[in-house]
Amino acid sequence: MLSAMDRREQAARWAEWMAAAQDGDAAAYGRLLSELLPVVRRMVGRRWPRAEDSEDVVQDVLLTLHSVRHTYDPHRPFLPWLTAIVAHRVADALRRHGRQGGRERALDDVPETFLSVEANTESADAPALRAAVASLPEGQRRAVELVKLKEMSLAEASAASGMTPGALKVAVHRALKSLKAILARDDT
């Protein structure tokens, strides 16, 4: 357990390292992130209910910290700045999780779909699906990858691909239609 003085010294050290990182000091930045990692894990752990993917949120926090590191003012305390980033990223993840939760169903509740083992083996279909996706035209393939596989929102996928949200919707729709046709053809 750190004493109040140790905590003050620690926060002052982090502020100093962050200021150095803003000036391009990679070593100071590496030291800072390494020291922050257990702190961020603890902060995320307190706010994020699912231990199995909390490391994803921790990584998201570190990536955000990196992208907004220019907003830190070395004359201001470091911890409130860090805490705000953690709180924002966890809230964001909770919102995303809530949205996905509405569309997903826990597989444990479904005992078995078919009698044969092969039918329940995800990997059996994977190569065929991968090949089908790969055979799609470039625009459709990109749209499916971003919107369906990477689960980006239309706005995010639009920013990543340069396609308009409308064009993305059309491309995804056509891609799914093509995939259905390709997979049905392969089955027969």
Residues that bind other proteins (CB under 8 A): 21-27, 29-30, 33-34, 37, 55, 58-60, 62-64, 66-77, 80-85, 88, 92, 156
Measured from the CB atom, the residue of 25 and 145 that comes closer to other proteins is 25
Shortest Å distance, C-beta 106 to other proteins: 27
DSSP string for residues in the chain: ---HHHHHHHHHHHHHHHHHHHTT-HHHHHHHHHHHHHHHHHHHHHH-S-GGGHHHHHHHHHHHHHHTGGG--TTS-HHHHHHHHHHHHHHHHHHHHHHHHHH---GGG---S-SSTGGG-HHHHHHHHHHHHHTS-HHHHHHHIIIIIS---HHHHHHHH---HHHHHHHHHHHHHHHHHHHHHHH-
Measured from the CB atom, the residue of 61 and 144 that comes closer to other proteins is 61
Measured from the CB atom, the residue of 33 and 170 that comes closer to other proteins is 33
Measured from the CB atom, the residue of 23 and 122 that comes closer to other proteins is 23
Shortest Å distance, C-beta 104 to other proteins: 22
Question: What is the C-alpha to C-alpha distance for residues 126 and 107, in angstroms, rounded to an integer?
Answer: 18
Shortest Å distance, C-beta 38 to other proteins: 11
Shortest Å distance, C-beta 44 to other proteins: 11
Measured from the CB atom, the residue of 84 and 119 that comes closer to other proteins is 84
Shortest Å distance, C-beta 66 to other proteins: 5
